[in-house]
Homo-oligomer: A and B are copies of this chain.
């Protein structure tokens, strides 16, 4: 690790003070904003996430708001996922692609009303794409980034903590659904979602001024539950097969290559940019795809750049994320593998900074 130089350009969040009070040790930068990565240690944070409850400052999941008569039309132009049957109150994971079917982002779409949506984005300025399209197509829609900063509550005790602060009704929120709940006189959107497999919620905190009051209320209510500040955990997210845009995929990749074909109803997604390209891909199938991969030997280094995957010395893919898993006692990884070598059980070699290692394509993620 090296030092991070701070500046106004790396935006602080409504919860930065809370994060610092918990002694954040390390950050990454995500959507021009600070995202904590370590509090106690990656392993300690990992164990705690699986046992208790954590409050995550994920303000960096910036929202794009679409408002106006053409909002739903524009939303369908953005994604090959069929949105026709989506109800107000639902969240959909939606691949967003360019005209060639290359992934531009993999956000969650939140349908607030027929003419109002939020798109909760991964790490790219999707706002620019959406604004450019809306302008170019002369659509009747307002597109901007509202003052909304998600705060996630994740872990097995998340529901108890949330019920303490927002009342028992939060227990009724179903997965990838949301409701609105009162906090100090404000209506906040709360969804059952989050970037872990441990269960939990994301609170769309509208209005920076209530950021710290809410943070403090959660910390106070969670004292008996061993609550702690946390953050998306590298080990847990790889175990769970949660992809990271910019790490595991870029605009070079189609949704099908990323294993997101099940979110593409391209035939039905009338008006979707990239539809022609994706129909072709859906017909032929991808020639490479993301796979869970285990890497033998002791803990590997941090994956800072692609590690080549080799078969008989020939390059057949690359690892993009890797970490030592204490619970599964192996290195867990995500990698793009060519179809010639992607069957479960296939043995490969991977060039890591720690030397050449044996790797095995897994039948499924570690969940």
Contacts and interface: CB of A to CB of B under 8 A. Distances in A.
Interface stretch (A3-11, A109-117, A197-205, A286-294): A3-11
Contacts of A104: 128
A273 interface: yes
A129 interface: yes
Contacts of A244: 7, 9
A305 B3 CA distance: 19
Contacts of A127: 128
Contact of A26 (B4, B246, B273): B4
B5 A3 contact: no
Interface in A27-80: 27-29, 32, 37-38
A7 B99 contact: no
A4 B6 CA distance: 10
A306 B302 CA distance: 34
Nearest to A231: B5
A131 B129 contact: yes
A175 B132 CA distance: 32
Contacts of A4: 1-4, 26-29
Contact of A133 (B8, B123, B135, B306): B135
A98 interface: yes
A34 to B, nearest CB: 9
A99 B127 CA distance: 13
Interface in A312-352: 320-321
A265 interface: no
Contact of A135 (B6, B9, B273, B303): B273
A158 interface: no
A283 interface: no
A124 B133 contact: no
Interface in A9-33: 9-12, 24-29, 32
B12 A5 contact: no
A133 B128 CA distance: 9
A310 interface: no
A1 B6 contact: yes
A90 interface: no
A77 to B, nearest CB: 9
A137 interface: yes
Interface string A129-145: 11111111110000000
A126 B123 contact: no
Given A2-B4, A5-B27, A98-B135, 17 more contacts: A1-B4, A2-B27, A3-B3, A3-B25, A3-B26, A4-B26, A4-B29, A7-B302, A7-B303, A32-B123, A32-B124, A99-B135, A126-B128, A130-B132, A132-B133, A132-B136, A135-B136
The 10 closest A-B pairs by CB, nearest first: A136-B136, A132-B132, A9-B246, A125-B125, A4-B4, A29-B29, A128-B128, A128-B129, A3-B26, A5-B37
5 contacts: A3-B26, A4-B26, A4-B27, A6-B302, A9-B244
Interface of A: 1-12, 24-29, 32, 37-38, 98-99, 104, 123-138, 234, 244-247, 273, 302-306, 320-321
